[in-house]
Amino acid sequence: MELEDVSAPACCEPLSGPVMDEDEAADLARVFKALADPVRLRLLNLIASAKSGEACVCDLTGAFAVSAPTISHHLKILRQAGLIEGERRGTWVYYRVIPERLTRLSGLFALPDLTGVCPPEPTPDRPRAPGLRCDVTA
């Protein structure tokens, strides 16, 4: 699964960007409410990290100490929030994340450096965020 570069100006406005309207705020609040449950957050993680890009509900239920109907309820909440989509294949439903929605969420937190302090120098395993400018004054 390829993720969009959220630092590009054409993508998403961060929280520090223009003021969002009521509809957008309500939509985002529904998404955050869906993610506020530990079971749903773990479900989203399991689906997003599936090697094939999708996960069968039959593989998701065993990871939790709750009943299959409860898992189905949590998956329904994630679907209604627009975070996942499902496709029925015979008896089972296969779920995958909706990358644009996850990209939108990650774009919200692209805040400018408000502290005036630059982060540590980048390393190959921890590169500096694209577009981050650090003015070094000596």
Q: What is the pLDDT of residues 59-117, one digit of tens each?
A: 999 899 999 999 999 999 999 999 999 999 999 999 999 998 888 887 777 665 555 55
Locate 51 and state its tokens.
């090697």
Q: What is the pLDDT of residues 124-134, one digit of tens each?
A: 665 655 555 55
Residues 6+ apart with CB under 8 A from 81: 30, 31, 33, 34, 35
CA distance 36 to 114: 27
Q: What is the pLDDT of residues 16-37, one digit of tens each?
A: 667 778 988 888 899 999 999 9
Check pLDDT > 70 for residue 7: no
The amino acid occupying position 72 is: S
Strand 84-89 relative to strand 55-56, pairing: unpaired
- pTM equals 0.68
